[in-house]
Amino acid sequence: LQTRLQAGQGYGNTLNCVLTVYRNESVAGFFKGMSFPLASIAVYSSVVFGVFSNTQRLLSQLRHGDPSRTPALADVALASMVAGFISVGIGTPVDLVKIRLQMQMQPYIKANIKLKPTVPGFPVYRGPIHCFRTVLQKEGIAGIYRGAGAMLLRDVPGYCLYFIPYTYFCGWITPDGCISPNPSSIWLAGGIAGAISWGTATPMDVVKSRLQADGVYLNKYKGTLDCILQSYQNEGLKVFFRGITVNAVRGFPMSSAMFLGYELSLKAMKRDQTETNP
C-alpha cells in the first residue's frame, strides 16, 4: 500500500488503495515483492543493530575506557547515523526490487511520452531474481542503487529518530530499581520509536519510492532533487506525506517486534556467556 500510494497513479486515499488493489489483483496483490525483503530481512536487521550496538560500545570505550558504560545521547545519535549510513548499502537493492515488482502492473498515462517496448499493465519481471538481473544488465550498478541518495537522506536522520526515542522511552517506562527493561517496556518503547521514525521519514520515503519505481516503463526523474522539484510542482506539498498513515501504523508493530527480538537475543547470549565463563 505504501509504495502504491507514494509512486502509483489514481489512488485517492488508503482505503481506496486497499479496495483497488483487492479488486484488480485479489489478495495476492498485497504480497507482491515480499519474497526478496523476507529473504534478506534477517541479514539487514542483524547488520543495522550490530553496527549500532558496536559503534556505541566503541564510543564508550574511546570516551570512558569502558565499553559497557551507558552511552551519552551524542553517542547514541552518532551510532544511529552510522547504522543508517551502512543500512543503505544493503537496503537500496532490496527496496528497488520490491518496488519494481509492486509497480510493474501499474498503468502509466502521460501524453506525448514514447514508452519502452514493454506495455504497461503487463509484467516486466518474472520474479525478484529476474528483476535484479534485468536491472543489473540494463542499468548496471547505478541502476541497482537508484534512489540511494534519497534513502541516505531518509535513513541517517530516520535511524536517529528510531534509536534515540527508543532509548529515551525505554528508560522512562522501565520501573526504578530495574537493571534492564522488561519485555512490555521494550515492546511499547520500540513501537513508539518505530511510529515516530517512519512517520517523520515519509517525505524522503516518497522520493525514494518514486525514484526506484521510475524506470519500469520510462525514466522521468534525473535524480533526487529533480524528483523533489517535479513532485512538488505537479502535486504540491501534500505529495510528500503520501502513505504517512500506513508508515506510522506499520512502524509500531514492526519495530516492537524488532526491538523485542534484539533485546531478548542479547539477554540470552549474555546469559549463555555467563554460564559458560562463570
- Give tens-digit pLDDT for 237-272: 999 998 888 888 889 999 999 999 988 888 887 776
Looking at 110, 145, 180, the residue that finishes a domain is: 145
For residues 140 and 161, state if they share a domain: no
For residues 219 and 178, state if they share a domain: yes
117 and 49 in contact (C-beta within 8 Å)?
A: no
Distance (Å, whole) CA 212 – CA 232: 18
CATH number, domain of 202, equals 1.50.40.10
For residues 127 and 170, state if they share a domain: no
- Which one is predicted more confidently, 276 or 235? 235
Is 188 domain-assigned? yes
For residues 135 and 207, state if they share a domain: no
Quick check: 174 pLDDT over 70? yes
Assign 176 to helix, strand or coil.
coil
Least confident range of 47-51, 101-105, 187-191:
101-105
Write down the mean pLDDT value for the chain: 82
- Which one is predicted more confidently, 40 or 106? 40
- Which one is predicted more confidently, 158 or 214? 158
Question: Residue 110 is placed in which grid cell?
Answer: 502521460
Looking at 122, 145, 168, the residue that finishes a domain is: 145
Is 8 domain-assigned? no
Quick check: 151 pLDDT over 50? yes
Looking at 145, 167, 192, the residue that finishes a domain is: 145
Is 95 domain-assigned? yes
Least confident range of 16-20, 59-63, 64-68, 131-135:
16-20
For residues 249 and 154, state if they share a domain: yes
| Torsion, CA 171, CA 172, CA 173, CA 175, rounded to 10 | 80
235 and 203 in contact (C-beta within 8 Å)?
A: no
Q: Which residues, including other chains, have CB under 8 Å from residue 55's CB and lie 6 or more apart?
A: 78, 79, 82, 83
Give the mean pLDDT of 185-203: 93
Question: Residue 153 is placed in which grid cell?
Answer: 537522506
Give the mean pLDDT of 83-93: 93
For residues 141 and 151, state if they share a domain: no
120 and 107 in contact (C-beta within 8 Å)?
A: yes
Report the predicted TM-score, pTM, of the whole model to 2 decimal places.
Answer: 0.81
Is 72 domain-assigned? yes
> Number of folded domains in the chain?
2
For residues 150 and 268, state if they share a domain: yes
pLDDT at 115: 43
Which residues constitute the domain of residue 66? Answer: 33-145
Burial string for 231-266 (b: 16+ CB within 10 Å, else e) reads beeeeeeebbebbbbbbbbbbbeebbebbbebbeee
Question: Residue 242 is placed in which grid cell?
Answer: 503520501
